[in-house]
C-alpha cells in the first residue's frame, strides 16, 4: 500500500489531507493546530523572530505583507485567521480566495527569471490571487493576477497544480488586476514609510 506521502506526490490526495495526517501522527488535532502551536510557542520562547521582523520567513511575505495589505486593497472581504488551510479570504460574494505571493527569482545563469507560486493542489479555494513582487527588500508589487481555481493553465486546472511558474507575464494578461495593482503599490509604499 502506498504511503500517504506517496499518495500526495501522485496527486491522489490533497495537500490538506496529507498535512492533517502528518499533524495527527505528531500529536496534534490537525495541521492548523500544529501551526498555531509552533508559531505561538516558539516565538514566545524567543527561538524564532516574529514574522514581522524576519524578511527571510515565508510568512513575512505571505502573511505579514500580502494578506495584511490585501484587506485594504479589496473591498468587503473577510480575512481568515493565520494558518487557515485552503484559503485566506472570503470575498463579499462568498468566494474563497487563496492568496499567494512570490518575489522574482533568477536562475543560476541569470538569464531566466520567473515567479513561482505554491498552489499545493488546493481544491478548497474558488480563486487564487497571485501577487508578484520584485524582491523582499524593496517590495515593489509588479503584478496581481486573479485566477479562478478551475482555469486551465498549460493543460491542467490550476487547483490541480503543485505550483505555477510565471516567466512571461503577458501570457497572464487576462487575469491581471491593474486597478488593484495601483492600490497595492500605494499600500506597500505606506508600509515602507512605517518601517
Identify the pLDDT of residue 195. Answer: 52
Question: Cβ atoms within 10 A of the Cβ of 46, count?
Answer: 7
**Over the range 52-79, which residues count as b (16 or more CB within 10 Å of their CB) and which as e?**
eeeeebebbbbbbbbbebbeebbeebee
Handedness of CA 185, 89, 155, 5 (dihedral sign): positive
Q: Where are the domains of the chain?
A: 4-44, 58-194
Query: What is the rounded radius of gyration, in angstroms, for the C-alpha atoms of the chain?
Result: 17
Identify the pLDDT of residue 160. Answer: 93
Going by C-beta distance under 8 Å and a sequence separation of 6 or more, which residues neighbour residue 170?
A: none
Question: Cβ atoms within 10 A of the Cβ of 139, count?
Answer: 21
Q: What is the dihedral of CA 189, 141, 173, 165, to 10 degrees?
A: -170
Mean pLDDT in runs of 10 for the chain (195 residues)? 77 79 77 69 50 47 58 77 82 89 81 88 92 83 93 92 91 91 74 55
Identify the pLDDT of residue 49. Answer: 47
Handedness of CA 164, 94, 61, 184 (dihedral sign): positive
* 176 DSSP 8-state letter: B
CB under 8 A, 24+ apart: contacts of 38-42:
39/82, 39/83
**Whole-structure pTM value:** 0.67
Identify the pLDDT of residue 190. Answer: 63
CATH of range 58-194; options 2.60.40, 3.40.1350, 3.40.50, 3.10.20: 3.40.1350
Going by C-beta distance under 8 Å and a sequence separation of 6 or more, which residues neighbour residue 185?
A: 140, 141
Residue 70 phi/psi, 5° resolution? -65, -30
Identify the pLDDT of residue 52. Answer: 45
Helix, strand or coil, per DSSP, at residue 41: helix
Identify the pLDDT of residue 174. Answer: 95
Report the distance separating Cα 99 and Cα 65, nearest Å. 11
Amino acid at each position: 500500500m502506498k504511503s500517504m506521502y506517496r499518495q500526495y506526490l501522485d496527486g491522489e490526495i490533497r495537500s490538506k489531507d496529507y498535512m492533517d495526517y502528518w499533524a495527527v501522527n505528531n500529536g496534534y488535532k490537525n495541521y492548523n493546530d500544529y501551526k498555531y502551536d509552533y508559531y505561538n510557542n516558539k516565538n514566545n520562547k524567543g527561538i524564532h523572530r516574529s514574522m514581522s521582523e524576519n524578511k527571510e520567513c515565508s510568512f513575512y511575505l505571505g502573511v505579514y505583507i500580502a494578506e495584511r495589505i490585501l484587506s485594504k486593497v479589496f473591498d468587503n472581504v473577510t480575512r481568515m485567521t493565520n494558518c487557515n488551510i485552503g484559503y485566506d479570504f472570503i470575498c463579499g460574494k462568498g468566494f474563497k480566495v487563496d492568496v499567494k505571493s512570490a518575489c522574482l527569482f533568477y536562475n543560476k545563469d541569470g538569464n531566466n527569471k520567473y515567479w513561482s507560486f505554491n498552489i499545493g493542489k488546493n481544491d478548497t479555494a474558488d480563486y487564487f490571487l497571485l501577487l508578484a513582487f520584485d524582491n523582499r527588500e524593496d517590495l515593489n508589487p509588479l503584478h496581481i493576477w486573479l485566477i479562478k481555481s478551475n482555469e486551465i493553465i498549460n493543460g491542467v486546472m490550476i487547483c490541480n497544480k503543485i505550483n505555477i511558474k510565471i516567466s512571461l507575464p503577458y501570457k497572464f494578461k487576462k487575469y491581471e488586476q491593474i486597478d488593484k495593482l495601483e492600490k497595492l503599490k500605494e499600500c506597500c509604499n505606506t508600509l515602507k514609510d512605517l518601517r
